[in-house]
Amino acid sequence: MTQHRRRQQRRGGVAGAAGVVGELLMTLGALVLLFVVWQLWWTDVESDRAHAATVTSLSRAFADAPSQGPAEPDATDATDAAGAAGVPGVPGVPAGAFAIVRVPRFGADYARPLVEGTSAAELAEGLGHYTGTAGPGEIGNFAVAGHRTTYGKPLAEIDRLQQGDRVVVETRQGWTVYAVTTHEIVRPSQSEVIAAVPGDRTAKPTRAVLTLTACHPRFSAKFRWVTHADLVETRTRAQGPPSLAVSTASANGGP
């Protein structure tokens, strides 16, 4: 009788332990699910709100900026033109944002702030400018990174960009317009894509180009999707904003 009771007690103890483990696993699963919801949905909600507020602040600051005459192309080497000269600050604007990026292919209302730096904290604030690369409109490679998922996912549809599509960058000085040329998929270690001459670390730049980078595929950081574009237009405040046609072809009356 005593042995029978002991066996029952052991079975009860095992069942109790299994129940505790099961409850812990269920709790852990719920926490993981909540984290995924927060990461993939709530960060977008918060970031979209913050990005919109920053764009509004930038637009107000730009509207108050004095009009300037036609700008001359900057022929300075991109390695010398980077930093403060290439990314003018905007007083009173949060998160160190200095420009607004518009991509008509992503929708007529698409407008995201561009901040200096590409750390996780900075990319949560919008698109990030690779420190040390050229500034908007400068000779060299104006390189920009952005999320494809989470934190507002400003480059979620980077793979939809087509040759000739416009990317418009607005700063206090005016607007620079780039037209998409090529795409490539690279490993994260292939940082030569943001060199002054993309793909060639030793070459001296003679043209102004834009490079957009984002993780690829979605929900993975295994590779980077890279989009290159050439500068096609520069406009000052005095000249007024450029066309927001989706592509250079449509802007020129093409299909």
Q: What is the CATH number of the domain that holds 237?
A: 2.40.260.10
- Total domains in the fold of the chain: 1
**Degrees to nearest 5, angle at CA 206 with 239 and 97:** 55
Q: What confidence tens digit (pLDDT) does each residue in 190-216 have?
A: 999 999 999 999 999 999 999 999 999
Task: Give the Å distances, CA to CA, from 218 to 40, 153, 159, 179, 228.
Answer: 12, 10, 10, 24, 19
55 vs 44: CA distance, rounded Å: 16
Q: Is position 247 within any domain?
A: yes
Are 104 and 244 contacting, i.e. CB atoms less than 8 angstroms apart? Answer: yes
User: Which residue has tokens 């960060």?
Assistant: 43
Q: What confidence tens digit (pLDDT) does each residue in 62-121 have?
A: 998 765 544 444 433 333 333 344 565 676 676 689 999 999 999 999 999 999 999 999
Are 205 and 188 contacting, i.e. CB atoms less than 8 angstroms apart? Answer: no
What is the chain's mean pLDDT, rounded?
Answer: 82
Q: Is position 79 within any domain?
A: yes
Q: Is position 237 within any domain?
A: yes
Helices (H), the chain: 2-37, 43-63, 78-81, 120-123, 248-251
Q: Is position 19 within any domain?
A: no
Q: What is the pTM of this model?
A: 0.78
Q: Is position 239 within any domain?
A: yes
- DSSP single-letter state for residue 66: P
Residue 21 burial class via C-beta count within 10 angstroms: exposed 0-12, middle 13-18, buried 19 and up: exposed
Q: Is position 10 within any domain?
A: no
In this prediction, residue 69 carries a pLDDT of 45
In this prediction, residue 83 carries a pLDDT of 38
Q: What is the largest CA-CA distance in the chain?
A: 101
Q: Is position 31 within any domain?
A: no
134 vs 81: CA distance, rounded Å: 6
- Per DSSP bridges, beta strands 140-145 and 97-102 are unpaired
Q: Identify the band that residue 15 occupies on the pLDDT scale cut at 50, 70 and 90.
A: low
- DSSP single-letter state for residue 225: E
Q: Is position 189 within any domain?
A: yes
| Domain region containing 55 | 42-251
B/e letters for 75-105, b = 16+ CB within 10 Å, e = fewer, are: ebebeebbeeebbeebeebebbbbbbbbbbb
Q: What is the separation of C-alpha 97 from the centre of its chain, rounded to a whole number of angstroms?
A: 12
